[in-house]
Amino acid sequence: MKGKNYPLYETTIFENFRVMVENVAKKYPGRTAISYKKDPHDTQTVDVTYAEARDCIRNLGTELISLGCTDKKVGLIGETSYNWICSYFALMSVGAIVVPLDKDLPLDELVGILNYAECEYLVYSASIEEKIMQIGDSVPTLKTYICKGEPGTNQALKVSELVQKGKEKFENGDNSYYDYEIDPDRLATIVFTSGTTGKGKGVMLSQTNIVSDMTQGMYNFAITSKTMSVLPPHHTYCSTVVFVGHYSQGCTIFINSGLKYFLNEIKEQKPEHLVLVPLFVETMYKKLWSTAQKTGKANTLKSMIKVSNFLRKIGIDLRRVFFKSILANFGGELEMIISGGASINQDIIDTFEAIGITILNGYGITECSPLVSCNRNKYQKKGSVGTPIIGEKVKIKDPDENGEGEICVKGPNVMLGYYKDPEATAASFDEEGYFMTGDYGKLDEEGWIYITGRLKNIIILSNGKNVYPEEIEQEVSRIAGVSEVIVYAGETRNQNNKEVIVAEIFPDYEELKLKGIEGMEAINAYFNKEIKRVNSRMAPHKTIRKVKIREEEFKKNTSKKILRFAIDKNIDN
């Protein structure tokens, strides 16, 4: 790890989305910007250069202006695709207010958001056309449908046709796309959060919010020349960090064909770095060890890691030699994973670092566009989510005796407010204008951020003690055979019982089977024994008193975060 004087990396400065698209097309016209497959079972890819993408975005933007999209709210829904990215960039470049939507939303929730946002246009993927056509007259403001693929209905316009019409207009002298004056400080997008503790809100972001987050945030990373887009596009972690952050730097973005193709396409496409949430990293980690166990090489791998770590301490790095066969399972070129969205176990970070893949743990929240902080390529602190991005102030509100309190953020990346909710907006900022994140944590003497837990998740015991469930979950997740775990205060119908801390576990049944543990009785006995070991390392008020075993994984949102509010906390069950 390098010291605090570790230099910033070069980045690209741009004022708005249109400037971003133009700059990178001029700098890298022939470089592949977006790569994707028409058929996930084929190895053939479609490679679009930065110059070609610029032309598509400009032509589409020209026609969108002609359609009257400027200053109008436009829903954008579907899986990640070349047309999703082009539509997003074009809409932002012509002054539309983009409302990114989760393609997996139930119809009634989708209709509710479209009505609440007063969307007049909807750009959608052909894969969800059946759902879209059920909207009918339930959204009175919605007047124009635009399909990003081949629509089966005559009601919808086609993106490809709009691009062609815009091209003809531009070639005939229509310069409206470049003439439109972008106000980077006005409302540009409304992002509806999928809260894990209840109903989400509409976060209002400007282009300044998003652009500053990336121009000031990307100084922290030395990104490689190729990445793979895996995350859902409606989430700011993908639309800002993966699309804006990487596109602006001239990085080739390969679009993953779907979750079931994730591991195969890493091996095939050979990305040099990835942007993921912990669930994907954990999947890769489990794949690594399950393969080692199945081939009888788990103990050998552990020994090699110890030898490699020792050699690195004396300046000899042989990781790419020692672990060549393991790295080949991840394409052989993977150097770095930027992980955010939730905490990640330090054991996982250390294991990947030991075999030659650096994991940079970061912190973000939609209201901050989303990046707040991150560790750096060669400057990291264990347990920390890194240092704040340039131009951002972070403070701890009302710290306790341990220096822990609510993490508060102030900077140009912080949202304009919550859509149609001035009360919630006012309540989310303190008297100094800092956004109160709702996350608890602390800062060290060098300004590194450490997250303790989420304010809404804190368990307040009858004796007044505060328990952060995330802290206990990290410990439990280190137990072999734990796939997912949530810790909470158990509720009982028996009023004579005291409140107890519960660890509800969804086991990795396959891993347990390899260990010879089968049947619920044996599984319960195993985890109760392991939880006693965890308890021995915890303070008395953090002791787990009840272990519940699940047969099915926890319900999650599309960002792969567990929905805590959907958990049945009755311990009598």
Q: Quote the CA–CA distance of 563 and 422 in Å, as a whole number.
A: 26
Q: Say if CB 395 and CB 408 are below 8 A apart.
A: yes
Amino acid occupying residue 73: K
User: What is the distance between the alpha carbons of residues 361 and 383, in angstroms, rounded to a whole number?
Assistant: 9
Alpha-carbon distance of 266 to 250, in angstroms, equals 20
Q: What is residue 464's predicted lDDT score, i.e. its pLDDT?
A: 65
Query: Per the structure block, which two tokens stand in for 50?
Result: 């930065």
Q: How far does the chain reach from its first CA to its final CA, in angstroms?
A: 48
Is a pLDDT exceeding 60 seen at residue 495?
no
Structure tokens given for 489: 């205060």
Give the CA diameter of the chain: 81
Instruction: State the span(s) of the chain assigned CATH 3.40.50.12780.
Output: 17-180
Counting beta carbons within 10 angstroms of the beta carbon of residue 112, is it exposed (0 to 12), middle (13 to 18) or buried (19 or more)? middle
Please determine, looking at this structure, whether the domain spanning 17-180 carries the CATH number 3.40.50.12780.
yes
- Please state the rounded mean pLDDT for residues 460-466: 70
Least confident of 14-18, 146-150, 226-230: 146-150
For residue range 40-72, list pLDDT tens digits in order: 999 999 999 999 999 999 999 999 999 999 999
Contacts 24+ apart (CB under 8 A), 30-36: 31/250, 31/252, 32/252, 33/247, 33/252, 33/253, 34/82, 34/85, 34/252, 34/253, 34/255, 35/252, 35/253, 35/254, 35/255, 35/269, 36/81, 36/82, 36/254, 36/255, 36/257
Bridge partners (DSSP) of residue 449 are 443
Is residue 493 pLDDT above 60, yes or no?
Answer: no
| CATH 3.30.300.30, the chain: domain bounds | 458-566
Sheet containing strand 546-549, strands side by side: 482-490, 500-507, 546-549
- Please tell me what DSSP assigns to residue 488: E
Q: Tokens 């062609």 map to which residue?
A: 164
Q: For the domain with range 458-566, which CATH number is right: 3.30.300.30, 3.40.640.10, 3.50.50.60, 3.40.30.10?
A: 3.30.300.30
Query: For residue range 503-548, what is the model confidence (pLDDT) as tens digits?
Result: 999 999 988 998 899 999 999 999 999 999 999 988 888 899 999 9
Mean pLDDT of the chain: 92
* Pairing assessment for the beta strands 97-101 and 73-77 based on DSSP bridges: parallel
| pLDDT tens digits, 413-439 | 999 999 999 999 999 999 999 999 999
Extract the tokens encoding 561.
């975060």
How confident is the model over 145-196, as pLDDT tens digits?
A: 999 988 777 779 999 999 999 999 999 999 999 999 999 999 999 999 865 4
